[in-house]
Amino acid sequence: MVAPSSGSAGSSPAAASPGPSPRALRRIVAASLVGTTIEWYDFFLYGSAAALVFDELFFPDSDPLVGTLLAFLTYAVGFAARPVGALVFGHYGDRLGRKKLLVVSLLLMGGATFAIGLLPTHATVGSLAPVLLTALRLVQGFALGGEWGGAVLLVSEHGDARRRGFWASWPQTGAPAGQLLATGVLALLTALLSESAFSGWGWRVPFLLSGVLVLVGLWVRLAVDESPVFRQARERAAARAAAGAPVEEPPLRAVLRRHWRDVLVAMGARMAENISFYVLTAFILVYVTAHLDLSQQTGLNAVLLASAVHFCVIPLWGALSDRVGRRPVYCAGAVGVALWIFPFFALLDTRSFPLMALAVTVGLVLHGAMYAPQAAFFSELFATRMRYSGASIGA
């Protein structure tokens, strides 16, 4: 049996720390999962709305295809803002603590999503509408850049090293859970409302719902303790400072100077996983409606079913990574997704809903093999004092 992969700097501090009780660990996992679910709900909701209605509401003067492309361009802006959020949240997360920055990221993401639900459209304020939409998308991306690293570290630094892959994979299930929630709400609304009612006001409902979800997330997240590994690192740093030891360089600078290769490894792993995920869950909505001329509901239902399966398999892949290693599981998923992309489009082109649902489901099961071990793998690449910065930048 192959031992789980770990970084030279990252795993020992967490491994040496006494673990919390099973009940406390479950509470920590639940807090991270609820928070990541809400933040991914906000992020994915935008992508689905961009595919369904944002072209008409915010870019009505454009050709339909151009309007869709412009709507997705604002979607892409969120990805451009994520690295900036990663730098800022990673730096302060390594200085102030994981928990504090996770609360800030949740408030920023939820506030921006709620505000999108209140935005005037192009019909009301003209070209100011897409400008405001883009600005709020930037805030979403900035907040998400700081969410992922902190959420997975809060679990991986509490958990036991032998099962770190399993426990740290649970915050990863926040992505399919958020996708499931966002897609489910949109699918329900499009089924209950006429097309004109959905375009007129129905699309706002899931964005406004984010305000309620954020309150739930804050209540759960504020109840957990700070990572014991981080607390120990701060105590050691304070003791060194009191003894007159030289001041350590800032975490961000230390990561970029000493661990740039690890950052590039994490970036490459994250990029391959991200591209495949958005092809399977966001691009499919455009492909189904624009190319196959099928209803929005068909694409949404296929993603809905596949996301439920995706949620279930991620912890299984995480547990497998504890037994055979992070890299073998990730590589199996990457190869599987690369090979599956050809039958994926062939199955979509059949226009048969069961086959379309199968195409997305198999794709997301294979994607889960890439996504599940990432949390433990990235946290094991970096030492405690620079772990939030390293994991966030790499992601």
**Domain presence at residue 122:** yes
The Cα–Cα gap between 304 and 357 comes to 9
Confidence (pLDDT) at 266:
77
Confidence (pLDDT) at 8:
38
Confidence (pLDDT) at 65:
63
User: Which of these, 134, 31, 18, 17, lies nearest to 76 by C-alpha position?
Assistant: 134
Find the angle CA(333)-CA(339)-CA(344) to the nearest 5 degrees.
105
**Domain presence at residue 166:** yes
**Domain presence at residue 4:** no
Q: Which one is predicted more confidently, 74 or 127? A: 127
Do the Cβ atoms of 114 and 210 come closer than 8 Å? yes
Q: How confident is the model at residue 1 (pLDDT cuts 50, 70, 90)?
A: very low
Q: Mean pLDDT throughout 164-185?
A: 85
The domain in which residue 78 lies consists of: 11-394
What are the pLDDT digits (tens) for 261-295?
Answer: 877 877 777 888 888 887 888 778 778 888 888 88
**Domain presence at residue 5:** no
**Domain presence at residue 383:** yes
**Domain presence at residue 6:** no
Do the Cβ atoms of 392 and 143 come closer than 8 Å? no
Confidence (pLDDT) at 349:
92
**Domain presence at residue 119:** yes
Q: Hey, which of 60-69, 110-119, 232-241 has the most confident mean pLDDT? A: 110-119
Q: Mean pLDDT throughout 231-236?
A: 72
Do the Cβ atoms of 263 and 253 come closer than 8 Å? no
Q: The domain spanning residue 345 has which CATH number? A: 1.20.1250.20
Question: pTM of the full predicted structure?
Answer: 0.73
What is the count of structural domains for the chain?
Answer: 1
Q: Which one is predicted more confidently, 274 or 332? A: 332
Alpha carbon 114 to chain centroid, angstroms: 18
**Domain presence at residue 350:** yes
